[in-house]
Amino acid sequence: NWLVINEPGEIFAQLQSRTDASGIALYYAECRERVLSGQLIANKIKDGKVIEDTAILDQQEWYLPQIERSDFWLGSKNTLAYVASLENLITLEWPIIAMIRNPLDTLASWRNTFSHLAEANVSSFPVAHPNFIAWSTQQREALLEIDCQPEAALRRVLLWRLLARTLLDQQNKIHVWRYEDLVANQTAYLEKFNNLMAF
């Protein structure tokens, strides 16, 4: 009775057209309604399972998730878009879990993944670009600093720093977990996760 949408493309228009988080709430309501009425939804899946690493396989399919209860838990992940909108998403008062990974591992991963992360050309990001309305003035200035750096490696470092700071600035309102801790003790974090969702 869990449904997680991996990188839903529908959120981009909602985040761009609304200055608050109401577009995300609308997307969730519409997604839930489609599932409960037996309509297909789009998700990044293979063989009916959510794709874990879209850098390896990045495909979206229409399918009908197997849900047994009408009060199923619905979640989604879209890292850059959600971090850029974090201050607004918090107003929904939904549980938000953010993972921070060791910067060395993250930067190594970015170097060999999607071009927008490998190059860290923030001005080309679909939502989290410097002109995105949800960024604060300070965050926008940090993005402009990133954008003017000539070396991709430095842009990646500065981007990681901005994203980590954005999460840490809100850590009293969201749940910030270390990726390495989750990997080391998945059972304990699954219990923590279930406790959060029982709010």
**Of the candidates 97, 94, 71, 125, the residue with the CA atom closest to the CA atom of residue 24:** 94
Residues 6+ apart with CB under 8 A from 170: 86, 87, 90
| 2-6, 69-73, 115-119, 147-151, range with greatest mean pLDDT | 147-151
CA R_g for the chain:
17
Give the pLDDT confidence of 32-83 residue by residue, as tens digits.
Answer: 999 999 999 999 988 878 887 776 777 889 999 988 889 899 999 999 999 9
Residue-level pLDDT at 178: 95
**Would you list the DSSP string of 84-102?**
HTHHHHGGGT---EEEE--
Distance CA 168, CA 23 (A): 24
Q: Are 72 and 35 in contact (CB under 8 A)?
A: yes
To the nearest 10 degrees (0 to 180), the angle between helices 152-169 and 137-147 is 170
Give the pLDDT confidence of 90-117 residue by residue, as tens digits.
Answer: 999 999 999 999 999 999 999 988 888 9
